Amino acid sequence: QVQLVESGGGLVQAGGSLRLSCAASGRTFSINAMGWFRRAPGKEREFVAARNWSGGSTYYADSVKGRFTISRDNAKNTVYLQMNSLKPEDTAVYYCAAHKRGSYYSPSAYAFWGQGTQVTVSS
């Protein structure tokens, strides 16, 4: 089992920045990649970003490319999502997840999920 705990959400004005953190514990050696997803009110959960553990390759949704950056601190078993130039449409609950197998873009490829952290961007 892998436990994931997100933090760093909050309320920010449009154009501002936030950094989300996701601390992993448990069988972290089994993790091959980590991802961030989000769910806005009334919408389906959608892919935001992912990072491969071994090679460090990163993947982003088109809607956040150039504004968000996913990174990792190996020593802390923590993955971050730096969010810049935030827009009201970025408002959502953000979840981190540990990848198991399959497409990084699909929620079904992730085996473990955090509880989520709310991000609200005011206009």
- Kindly tell me the sign of the dihedral angle through the C-alpha atoms of 46, 10, 18, 8: negative
The pLDDT of 91-118, averaged and rounded, is 96
Measure the CA–CA gap between 106 and 60, rounded to whole angstroms: 12
- Kindly tell me the sign of the dihedral angle through the C-alpha atoms of 64, 66, 68, 69: positive
Measure the CA–CA gap between 79 and 71, rounded to whole angstroms: 6
Q: pLDDT class for 31, splitting at 50, 70, 90?
A: confident
Measure the CA–CA gap between 79 and 22, rounded to whole angstroms: 5
Q: Give tens-digit pLDDT for 55-100.
A: 789 999 999 999 999 999 988 899 999 999 999 999 999 999 999 9
Give the per-residue pLDDT at 55. 76
Q: Is 6's pLDDT higher than 90? A: yes
For residue 98, give Cα distances in angstroms to 52, 78, 105.
10, 11, 12
Instruction: Look over the chain and give the mean of its residue pLDDT values, rounded to a whole number.
Output: 95
Give the per-residue pLDDT at 97. 97
Give the per-residue pLDDT at 64. 98
